[in-house]
Amino acid sequence: MIAGVLAVYAVLATTLLPRLLIRARWADRAPRLAITLWLAACTSAIASAALSAVAAAIPPDAIGHSLASLIEACFAMLDDGVDLGTMSAGSWLVLLSGGLVVARAAYGVGAVMFTAWRERRRHAEMLRILGRRDHELDAIVLEYGEPLAYCLPGRQAKTVVTTAALQALTPEHLAAVLAHERAHLRGRHHLVLALADGLDRAFPGVPLFSRAKEEVVRLVELRADDVAAHRHPRVHIAAALVSLATGRAPAFALGAGGENALTRVRRMLRPAVPLGQREKLAGVTAVGVLLAGPAVVMLFPGLTALIAHHCHDLFVF
């Protein structure tokens, strides 16, 4: 029954959960919390699929006996645990399918991260040849006719601005753009994007992962805008976004412009009220439930079996 519950939840999470999350109107008011919620939903769905296979292969009450055996070992009263040698071929097959889900997710994320790292390294080599360091801006200036500002994450992170952008932006607007890019670097947003992109590639066509990728791409830009707004007037950020709206940064970098730049301009000029404490608490609670829920469902019968069948012996000892 536990395996069925987890499997059904995994299906519902990948199909219905994105419809619920996309209706959350508060996401633009708290992009960091919204990013965490989307990634927690993805993790919850994968964990449920994997744990459903474990629950189908190994009876949950046997897990409880194993936990009890571990405790009793501390009292020199080791009991029988799960004998993997007696598992049927079907159980091993189900267990393998759960492992493949996790392996597929890990491979997808790893492949995206490796590809991005390779492309960033090549681009960094190009910048060493064609770009020049501006120590006053603490950025690489690249001779290019399109107004662009973007950052190149990594151990030797770089912020890049083109000569066209320098001509299009005033000093105040340029400072706001550079603050936006450095917010990407400090927030490790490239890792967040790699995780969302990797899961989408690992499970193509699954609504949760495809929608999570789209939302995370949008929300990391909102988050960087908010961080930049702590030090620079919002109107300066909005004006800079208008100037860079048509620019397209390399796929492996994070740029200030892009398709949603005009939407972000309106958000900068008409800021929404931040979330209250209760709303933040509700969001954090939802993240906790998504992350811990599958494990709790999986372990509950085992813990119940532990209490029901072994507590008496422990107390007697």
What is the percentage of the chain residues whose pLDDT exceeds 90?
Answer: 55
Q: What is the pTM of this model?
A: 0.82
d(CA 22, CA 236): 29
pLDDT: which is higher, 277 or 307: 277
d(CA 161, CA 144): 9
The whole-number pLDDT of residue 273 equals 86
The CA dihedral of 296, 297, 301, 303, to the nearest 10 degrees, is 0
User: What's the burial of 211, exposed, middle or buried (CB within 10 Å: 0-12/13-18/19+)?
Assistant: buried
C-alpha atoms less than 13 angstroms from C-alpha of 51 in its C-beta half-sphere = 25
The whole-number pLDDT of residue 314 equals 47
The whole-number pLDDT of residue 81 equals 47
In b/e form, how buried is each residue of 257-268, taking b as 16+ CB within 10 angstroms? Answer: bbeebeebbebb
C-alpha atoms less than 13 angstroms from C-alpha of 316 in its C-beta half-sphere = 7
pLDDT: which is higher, 161 or 2: 161
Residues in the chain: 317
Per-residue pLDDT, averaged over 240-268, amounts to 82
Report yes or no: 65 and 303 within 8 Å, Cβ to Cβ.
no
The whole-number pLDDT of residue 134 equals 92
Task: Report in angstroms the alpha-carbon separations of 21 from 35, 70, 188, 204, 211.
Answer: 11, 40, 23, 19, 10
Residue 300 has pLDDT above 80, yes or no: no
Task: Report in angstroms the alpha-carbon separations of 62 from 9, 138, 313.
Answer: 23, 60, 17
The one-character DSSP state at 145 is S
The whole-number pLDDT of residue 88 equals 56
The residue with tokens 């449920």 is 48
Give the domain ranges of the chain.
Answer: 1-87+276-317, 133-275
The whole-number pLDDT of residue 316 equals 47
Residue 176 has pLDDT above 50, yes or no: yes
d(CA 311, CA 185): 52
Least confident of 79-88, 249-258, 274-283, 289-298: 79-88
